[in-house]
């Protein structure tokens, strides 16, 4: 949370700013190629090659008094700006996945950054992380500009967290492992927990091998102590209930076992 503290952000309690600082402070300690590989894994539609990360700035303040398209504002403040060799990437973060991003805020940040940018030919993108309902690319037209629409990459925090877990499981570099674990702890501190959605399908596959005695199979599954925080898809849950109906003798017992799992 060092960057948030340096910028005078109130991080007495966990918040959007402390999440952004904790996660990206850790990511920016990684080698450039590892850092970009993680972002690409989380957000596959980002540019393929970012080359060298030349500079970055948390919460830069862009004066807007001379920008007619941004009325009633003295400055705008993106959460993070990454300056790569061939393009700049503005990052606007929200506390939770789901909702909260604002296209007007994106427009103001893009206009302000472009106004203060020394290289007018440099590509400029915006990554909206958190505060979106789904991962996707959108195009943002700015009325006063004749250029092509700006590209906005909308992604969940969950996608980045999953990418970090995947990278952790596939690296032997001790220093990177320590950083990955630090970032995962930062996510957890802010209520973002990694959940492997495919886990339920794996349970179903193993359950099929115990068809002669479905009650026994349910007991085996119950002994696996599935975490209550695990997210289960309702469609998969129905798949598990279907074979239970063929074992009417033990259906009540089977259903009680399922009920005890407290599946959401």
- Spans of all domains in the chain: 2-189, 199-260
Query: Is residue 112's pLDDT more than 80?
Result: yes
- CA torsion 182-185-186-187 (nearest 10°) is 130
Assign 180 a pLDDT band (cuts: 50, 70, 90). Answer: very high
Q: Please check whether residue 131 is in contact with residue 156, taking contact to mean a CB–CB distance below 8 angstroms.
A: no
Supply the pLDDT for residue 221.
57
pTM: predicted TM-score of the whole model, two decimal places? 0.73
Supply the pLDDT for residue 8.
73
The segment with the largest mean pLDDT, out of 127-141, 146-160, 237-251, is 127-141
Query: Is residue 6's pLDDT more than 70?
Result: no
Per-residue CA distances from 255 to 20, 202, 261 (Å): 43, 20, 10
Q: Please state, for a pLDDT cut of 70, what percent of the chain lies above it.
A: 67
* Mean pLDDT, range 115-138, rounded to an integer: 90
- CA torsion 159-130-6-74 (nearest 10°) is 150
Residues 6 or more apart whose CB falls under 8 angstroms from that of 212 comprise: none
Interior/surface letters 89-127, b for 16+ CB within 10 angstroms, e for the rest: bbbbbbbebeebbeeebbbbbbbbbbeeeeeeeeebbbb
Per-residue CA distances from 73 to 5, 61, 63, 109 (Å): 24, 12, 9, 11
Could you say which DSSP state residue 250 is in?
G
Supply the pLDDT for residue 208.
53
Supply the pLDDT for residue 232.
47
In three-state secondary structure terms, 99 is coil
Q: Which has the higher per-residue pLDDT, 83 or 207? A: 83
Mean pLDDT of the chain: 80
Write out the two tokens for 262: 């407290």
Query: Is residue 171's pLDDT more than 70?
Result: yes
């Amino acid at each position: 949370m060092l960057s948030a503290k340096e910028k005078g952000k109130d991080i007495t309690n966990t918040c959007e700013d402390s999440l952004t600082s904790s996660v990206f402070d850790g990511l920016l300690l990684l080698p450039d190629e590892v850092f970009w590989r993680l972002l690409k894994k989380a957000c596959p539609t980002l540019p393929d090659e970012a080359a060298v990360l030349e500079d970055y700035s948390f919460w830069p303040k862009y004066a807007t008094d001379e920008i007619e398209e941004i009325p009633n504002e003295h400055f705008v403040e993106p959460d993070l700006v990454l300056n790569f060799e061939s393009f700049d990437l503005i990052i606007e973060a929200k506390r939770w996945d789901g909702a909260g991003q604002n296209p007007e805020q994106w427009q103001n940040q893009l206009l302000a950054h472009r106004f203060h940018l020394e290289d007018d030919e440099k590509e400029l993108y915006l990554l909206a992380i958190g505060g979106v309902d789904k991962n996707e690319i959108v195009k943002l037209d700015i009325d006063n500009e004749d250029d092509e629409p700006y590209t906005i990459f909308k992604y969940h925090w969950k996608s980045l967290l999953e990418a970090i877990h995947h990278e952790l499981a596939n690296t032997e570099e001790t220093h990177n492992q320590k950083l990955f674990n630090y970032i995962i702890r930062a996510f957890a501190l802010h209520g973002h927990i990694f959940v492997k959605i495919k886990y339920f399908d794996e349970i179903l596959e193993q359950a099929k091998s115990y068809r002669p005695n479905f009650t026994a199979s349910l007991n085996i599954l119950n002994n696996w102590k599935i975490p209550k925080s695990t997210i289960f898809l309702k469609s998969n849950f129905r798949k598990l209930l279907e074979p239970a109906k063929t074992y009417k003798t033990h259906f009540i017992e089977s259903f009680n076992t399922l009920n005890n799992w407290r599946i959401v």
